[in-house]
Amino acid sequence: MTFHEELGLLIRARYPLIYISTREEERAEESIAAVAAKTGNRAVYIWDFVDGYRGNPTDVGAGRRNPLQALEFVEKLPPAAPAILILRDFHRFLDDIAVSRKLRNLARLLKSQPKNIIILSAQLTLPDELSELLTILEFPLPGVEDIRREIETLLGAMGSLPDPKAMDALVRSCQGLSMERIRRVLARGIATNGAFNSDDIDLILEEKRQTIRQTQILDFYPATQKISDIGGLDNLKDWLIKRGSSFSEKARQYGLPHPRGLLLVGIQGTGKSLTAKAIAHHWHLPLLRLDVGRLFAGLVGESEARTRQMIQLAEALAPCVLWIDEIDKAFAGFEGRGDSGTTSRVFGTFLTWLSEKTSSVFVVATANNIGVLPPELLRRGRFDEIFFVSLPSRAERDAIFNVHLSRLRPHNVKSYDTSRLAYETPDFSGAEIEQAIIEAMHIGFSQNRDFTVDDILEAASQLVPLARTAKDQVDSLLAWAASGKARMASRQSMLSDRIQQQKENP
């Protein structure tokens, strides 16, 4: 049911008090006026604290700087006259005993009159004594068709409508922005170049960054890494490549549901975070990073509200990739925490959303310690697949060395014997390989020369890999993966090597 349909239904059913939470005041008022016109051509009165009522010449200024008088104005209207009264920012006065009592009295009165009071506010604040009387209605961000109409109106007036393919890309880029921000960014592009073209989509991404930055919950993360920047993980790469066009309209027509997401489990430094960034780049989707710690706040109920806000923002920006790094640290052992059940409620909200979401938000969660994750999170249906990212095999280490050296020394990468480097660095993760190369660069730079294979081997000899310093933990993870509880991200990894050795030497 659309916003217009739901609001029309509430008005016809004579719901006396309606609360609409939105930052798009102007667009919301336009929508309310459109619904009012379709439901008996009702009169619309708008009040704010500074100017009072306006619109009707005989009522201009009524209730100025007096919220109680604004409510008393309702009783002065003819009982049989259909009307909608919009009260801007009225949430600030709901804690006043006189205002609260008057609203409750009006709720009784308006059940027999064709009138509705709509509180329009940028935030949701609901006193307990009004919770049974107020009906909360969400006002969504502009949809695809709304955005397309606005772009056609603005750019059509300039005579610079983009071609259909560019229009689709532009509409998709604008999803998640308010109409005011869309108008502003289009005007900025036109003012800069005389017309809005495909190169100006970066302006839209910057607006999205600004929107997300203001929430202080999600980060708009730049995704510059490519699938080719990942060494190894062939099974995972194949899985991702096959789903590269799953967010397209063609996939919807085929009957494919939106991909839900991935849980990447494995040893630290093996490329889980890198994979999240590469997915967003390869699929040309914005990457949102969630720091779960930011969801938790001091006030009662605020953590749950932040979780809902995070979900709404992610869905508004869909299609997108939502990256939750080290989810095991956020929800490990939450049942025993002394936080009055806050973590449990946040986890429950998040879990329900994972199971029931129909939006094109692709969730990529990473975890190092699978043993502390609640079993509910691992159940099929939360994620499309659970991949285990093991330590790289010798062939994968060769590929990882090639990736880093090709980026750092593209002109003479062939002078480095990556096969020898891979052989000499058993049990090294991708992150440890990168660190060994960086240390070798320090050695070469300090001696005013380029670094060599011997420098890398010297640096590697001084580095103790995690597979040795945390051997018990690593072995436990490898044993968990070997039991078949997750799909292997690599066709040939260190785990595969160990399993093969066990078969050969039982």
Q: How far apart are CA 260 and CA 360, in angstroms?
A: 8
Query: What values do phi and psi take at 64, rounded to 5?
Result: -60, 130
Q: What is the pLDDT of residue 301?
A: 58
Average pLDDT along the chain: 85
79 exposed, middle or buried (CB, 10 Å; 0-12, 13-18, 19+)? exposed
Structure tokens at 98: 């006189």
pLDDT at 89 over 80: yes
Residue 256, classed as helix, strand or coil, is coil
* Contact assessment for residue 90 and residue 46, using Cβ atoms and an 8 Å cutoff: no
Per-residue pLDDT band for 372 (boundaries 50, 70, 90) equals confident
What are the pLDDT digits (tens) for 390-421? 888 888 899 999 999 999 999 988 999 999 99
pLDDT at 177 over 70: yes
* DSSP per position, 311-357: HHHHHHT-SEEEEETTHHHHHTTGGG-SSTTHHHHHHHHHHHHHHH-
Q: How far apart are CA 193 and CA 209, in angstroms?
A: 22
Axis crossing angle, helix 272-283 with helix 234-242, rounded to the nearest 10: 30
Asked whether the domain spanning 394-426+430-464 has the same topology as the one spanning 144-215, the reply is: yes
Q: What is the homologous superfamily of the domain 3-138 according to CATH?
A: P-loop containing nucleotide triphosphate hydrolases (3.40.50.300)
pLDDT at 83 over 60: yes
pLDDT at 445 over 90: yes
- DSSP letter, residue 14: T
Q: What is the tally of helices (H) and strands (E) in the chain?
A: 21, 13
* DSSP per position, 219-233: EEE-----GGGS-S-
* DSSP per position, 372-390: GS-GGGGSTTSSSEEEEE-
Per-residue pLDDT band for 493 (boundaries 50, 70, 90) equals low
What are the pLDDT digits (tens) for 59-70? 788 899 999 999
Burial state string for 245-260 with b = 16 or more CB within 10 A and e = fewer than 16: ebbeeebeeeeeebbb
Q: How far apart are CA 273 and CA 325, in angstroms?
A: 7
Q: How far apart are CA 240 and CA 385, in angstroms?
A: 11
Topology of the domain covering 144-215: Helicase, Ruva Protein; domain 3 (1.10.8)
In the numeric block, the tokens 């938000």 are attached to 361
pLDDT at 298 over 60: no
- More confident call, 391 vs 250: 391
Q: How far apart are CA 360 and CA 14, in angstroms?
A: 35
Q: How far apart are CA 431 and CA 234, in angstroms?
A: 18
CATH of 394-426+430-464 among 1.10.8, 1.10.260, 3.30.230, 1.10.10: 1.10.8
* Contact assessment for residue 474 and residue 388, using Cβ atoms and an 8 Å cutoff: no
Per-residue pLDDT band for 47 (boundaries 50, 70, 90) equals very high
Q: What is the mean pLDDT of residues 129-152?
A: 88
Axis crossing angle, helix 302-316 with helix 201-215, rounded to the nearest 10: 170
Spatial CB neighbours of 117, under 8 Å, sequence gap ≥ 6: 16, 17, 18, 71, 74, 85, 87, 103, 106, 110
Q: What is the homologous superfamily of the domain 227-389 according to CATH?
A: P-loop containing nucleotide triphosphate hydrolases (3.40.50.300)
Per-residue pLDDT band for 93 (boundaries 50, 70, 90) equals very high
Where exactly are the structural domains of the chain? 3-138, 144-215, 227-389, 394-426+430-464
Structure tokens at 402: 């090639």
Structure tokens at 91: 């949430």
